[in-house]
Structure 1
Amino acid sequence: MADKMLMTVLTVCLAMQGSLPVWLATIILGRDVGLGIAAIYYRWISLPPPKTFTRYWDFSLPSAEVRPTIISKYNTFLQLGLMGATMVAPVVAVDVTGAMTAFQYLVATTTVWSGLSYVFSKDAVRILSDNKDQKSKSR
């Protein structure tokens, strides 16, 4: 969660300042919004009955588990690297415009790839069930 907060604040601030292209900020934030909506959905569909607002926010009732994909881990590393490089670039004496543009396209690619990996990976989201409870009741 801390990674998401950091990336959101940095992305918004750097885009508002004009240091980060708006198209890239939209991709980064869009992916995170999409993942957030998916998390809300998976929590709801996997929550054992009765489904109430109070039970929805009771995290002692596990219902779904999201595992980060490998590309997602690389993407987080590259996004944080881009944010750092974007903040440092104005004070570097060398022209790094070409390198920064390439870095931005790399991050855009890994961000889209990472988002799609959650959609198409069978291991990214696992619905937890009460198998233990069901097995103990059947004995």
Structure 2
Amino acid sequence: QKENIYTIPNLLTMFRIGSTPILGYLITSHSYQLSLGLLVIAGITDVLDGHIARAFPSQKTAFGTHLDPLADKLLVFVISFCLAKVSLIPVWLFTIIVLRDVLLILAVFYLRYQTLPPPKTFARYWNINKASVNLYPSTLSKFNTMLQISAISLSLAAPVFDFMQHPALQGLWYLTALTTFITGVQYAKNPWKYVKRLNKK
């Protein structure tokens, strides 16, 4: 059965995806106040889409459960890249974040292939209605996601409110990098620990 993907949570998520390149452009153009305002709006839509999907089951879709984390990853990648480009975060922090996420995405592709029941066709592999595995982030990974979002948000706010060299911000960078590295090792050592298989065949 084909689901209706044009729900309020999905539209909010699509808005967040659409705003991501605009955010990147504003940051690289040094329009930090505008980009910070747009980031706040994007953050509000992220909270709203999750709340609406939980409160109203008819608004929850399989498409949305895949689209929402993709939107978050895209937002973090683009903003952290642009912040590194204008020297608002160190390049090493961006590199650690991206490497962990690339490895995680490759692991998801591999687990998807391993758990997909036969026949393993290209169409079935990319059919989001034929979910074969659910991923459950570790507690530390959830904490790391919060740290990543806090780090990029505060780094973007730093030139607006003049705290670019504050030691607390630099400490946040190191803590974010450390937890990003540790969670990457967690997933690499035992990816099946954070997976629930949806089929037995």
TM tier, smaller: 0.7 to 0.9
Match of 1:29 among 98, 108, 113: 98
Q: In the alignment, does 2:193 pair up with 1:123?
A: yes
Per the normalisation by structure 1, the TM-score is 0.85
Instruction: Identify which of 168, 172, 179 aligns with 1:99.
Output: 168
What is the distance in 2 between the residues matched to 1:78 and 1:94?
18
Q: How many residues align?
A: 131
CA distance in 1, matches of 2:164, 2:149: 21
1:55-78 Cα offsets, whole Å, 9 max, x none, are 101122221111111111111111
CA 96–16 in structure 1, closer or farther in 2 if over 3 Å, else same: closer
Deviations, residues 8-27 of structure 1 (Å, cap 9, x unaligned): 11111101111111111000
* Distance in 1 of aligned mates of 2:163 and 2:119: 61
The aligned counterpart of 2:133 is 64
**Partner Cα distance (1:124, 1:33) in 2:** 17
Tell me: higher relative CO, structure 1 or 2? Use CA pairs within 8 A at least 6 residues apart.
1
Change (3 A) 1:93 1:86: closer
Unpaired segments ≥5 residues, structure 2? 1-68
Q: Give the structure 1 partner of residue 153 of structure 2.
A: 84
* Residues 93, 52 of structure 1: alpha-carbon distance in 2 compared, 3 angstrom cutoff: closer
Larger Rg: 1
2:84, 2:94 within 8 Å by CA — same for their partners in 1?
yes
Tell me whether 1:54 sits opposite 2:92 in the alignment: no
Matched residue type, 2:140? I
Q: Give the equivalent residue in structure 2 for 1:11.
A: 80
Q: What's the TM-score, normalizing by structure 2?
A: 0.60
- Is the 2:155–2:164 Cα contact (8 Å) retained in structure 1? no
Which blocks of at least 5 consecutive residues in structure 1 are unaligned? 132-139
In structure 2, the residue corresponding to 1:123 is in which secondary structure?
Answer: helix
Task: Return the alpha-carbon distance in structure 1 between the equivalents of residues 74 and 108 of structure 2.
Answer: 16
The list of structure 1 runs, each at least 4 consecutive aligned residues, that deviate by more than 6 angstroms after superposition, is none
Q: CA deviation at 1:87?
A: 0.9
- 8 Å CA contact retained: 1:43, 1:56: yes
Task: Give the deviation of 1:92 after TM superposition.
Answer: 2.9
Shifted more, 88-97 versus 14-23: the winner is 88-97
